[in-house]
Amino acid sequence: MQSIFLLTFSVPRNDEDFISLTLNTKVSSLRAVVEVSGELWGGEQSQPLYSEVTRLLEAGHKEVVLDIGNIFFANSSGVGLLIRLHVKAEKLGVKLIIANPTPNLRKVFETMNLTQVLHIEPAVA
């Protein structure tokens, strides 16, 4: 792996709670792995994830892996973001792999039939 980046972005939800999304990117010549931690809400909160994955997709990597094993909450907008990123990857000829989903997220993907569309792997290989 050549580079490691750490990005933390927090948006206040109310006076006491914060929505936090942390990205840790590891890049090699052919593959990039983005470890995503926190809550995936979509909208402004997920813009850093969208920007980082878009940058990696456009950088010429053959695969971009999203390790979502530390996402403890995702709403429908967050799942929609993963779908938008998948579509963008397909258009660019890059394989976007959603890896290490929690059992709850795996169930969401199965219920929405997204296991037939997204490249979902049980672990980061």
4 DSSP β-pair partners: 26
- pLDDT tens for 20-75 read 889 999 998 889 999 999 999 888 888 999 999 999 999 989 999 999 999 988 99
Strand 3-12: give its sheet, edge to edge: 3-12, 18-27, 31-40, 63-74, 95-99, 119-121
Q: Which domains does the chain have, with CATH numbers?
A: 3-121 (3.30.750.24)
- pLDDT tens for 83-124 read 999 999 999 999 999 999 999 999 999 999 999 999 999 999
Long-range contacts of the stretch 56-61 (C-beta < 8 A, 24+)? 56/25, 56/27, 56/32, 57/85, 57/88, 57/89, 57/92, 57/94, 57/96, 58/92, 59/32, 61/27, 61/30, 61/31, 61/32, 61/94
- pTM passes above 0.75: yes
